[in-house]
Amino acid sequence: MTRSTGPLAGLRLVEISGLGPTPFTAQLFADMGADVIRIARPNSAGAANHVLGMENDPLDRGRDVLELDLKSAEGLAVARRLIARADALIEGMRPGVMERLGLGPADFPENPKLVYGRMTGWGQSGPMAERAGHDINYVALSGALHAIGTPETPVIPLNLVGDFGGGAMYLAFGMMAALWHARATGQGQVVDAAITDGVGHLLGMIHGMAANGVWTDHRGGNLLDGGVPWYGVYPCADGRHMAIGPLEPKFWQEFQQKMGFAPGELPDRADHAAWPALRAAIGARFLSQGRSYWEAVFEGSDACATPVLSLAEAVMHPHNVARHAYVLHEGMMQPAPAPKLSATPGRIGPGSTRHRIAAQAVLARWGG
């Protein structure tokens, strides 16, 4: 099943089966045409099945699964032959595990261009490198969890900020940077992607705002954390919600007009003391009608007001449908490959966790 389309066609990756960030990174590469082989334990299910009981996970799509017992001489030998022929490897084990198996970065001198992508929560070094943890712990230690939520308590941002944003996306970016370098020099390297590093990097703008005195350490009291009345979420009469964000004056003016407020009717938003009254006025107006009413009011406007959609609603929204943002694959609606490339768009290739491949077939495909 050699992939002949996509911007990464011809790129060979070995993925050591893992959770969350590593399969998502592998999915990103596979969606863009890379030939990814996942090495999994015999009789193992997909990554999410281990924890969540899911039998069909979009993170597993687009690559073949090769079952190997890496504690056996035979399984280890096959893995070594594949990695020796790969452009890159993705693994998310605790530090030292791959080395103890004999599959560490230094174990492949015959493949000097190998890019070795390592995904962990704490990183390969540091006093917490050996400790267990999950997304919530990494986001907490990075400062992001403290900054997200209500004044009373932090709110967990799913695992989007840690596992996928600060983890998988940074691993993918780091690997692409290393692959570019290897292409030019023939020299591979290790990519040490720590979720704590990535989340900290994502917070760069917030750190900058804090350093310039325009961000306080009090949650729910800032421009982008729901602290201001014109950037937040409001309930409607039917219990559903609208999200508003008219930050610029011209958008704020249009928002007021669409909401039916007369000029000067609302308190001056520059007056901090008037924010409670301003929030109450906006909230009362939204509560006077259901969400569908407000959707119609703001349709086609620049008022920066949108409905808060459920997952099912998002799949069916006309904008997402027009952009083909979701596709039906293996009987399940799931996100399409992103971002969209004009000349070499990504696609969901063959293979999934439900399809196993024999070692000889993989070795033959990779010329080994």
pLDDT-derived band of residue 356, with 50, 70 and 90 as boundaries?
Answer: confident
CA-nearest of 32, 22, 51 to 167 is 22
pTM, 2 dp: 0.94
Q: Mean pLDDT across the stretch 168-191?
A: 98
User: How far is it, in rounded angstroms, from Cα 84 to Cα 102?
Assistant: 13
Residue 181 annotated in active site: no
Query: Can you give the pLDDT at residue 227?
Result: 95
Q: Mean pLDDT across the stretch 221-238?
A: 96
Q: What is the pLDDT of residues 286-323, one digit of tens each?
A: 999 999 999 999 999 999 999 999 999 999 999 999 99
Q: Which of 26-35, 209-218, 224-233, 346-355 has the lowest mean pLDDT?
A: 346-355
Residue 60 annotated in active site: no
**What three-state secondary structure class fits 65?**
strand
Asked whether residue 57 carries a pLDDT value surpassing 90, the answer given is no
Catalytic-role residue among 31, 35, 87, 163: 163
Catalytic-role residue among 134, 241, 317, 329: 134
User: How far is it, in rounded angstroms, from Cα 355 to Cα 58?
Assistant: 14
**What three-state secondary structure class fits 217?**
coil
* Percent of the chain topping pLDDT 90: 90
Q: Which of 46-50, 202-206, 221-225 has the lowest mean pLDDT?
A: 46-50
Read off the tokens for 249: 């004056």
Spatial contact of 15 and 88, defined as CB atoms under 8 Å apart: no
What is the layout of strands, in order, in the sheet containing 241-244? 232-235, 241-244, 305-307
Q: Mean pLDDT across the stretch 154-183?
A: 98
User: How far is it, in rounded angstroms, from Cα 207 to Cα 213?
Assistant: 10
- Residue 67 belongs to what H/E stretch? strand 64-67
The string over 262-280, giving b where at least 16 C-beta atoms fall within 10 Å of a residue's C-beta and e elsewhere, is eeeebbebeeeeeeeebbe
The domains found in the chain, sorted by start residue, are 12-202+337-365 (3.40.50.10540), 232-318 (3.30.1540.10)
Query: Can you give the pLDDT at residue 335?
Result: 96
Query: Can you give the pLDDT at residue 1?
Result: 44
User: How far is it, in rounded angstroms, from Cα 269 to Cα 278?
Assistant: 7
Spatial contact of 138 and 212, defined as CB atoms under 8 Å apart: no
**What three-state secondary structure class fits 273?**
helix
Other C-beta atoms within 10 Å of 261: how many? 14
Query: Can you give the pLDDT at residue 54?
Result: 66
Asked whether residue 219 carries a pLDDT value surpassing 60, the answer given is yes
User: How far is it, in rounded angstroms, from Cα 272 to Cα 354?
Assistant: 57
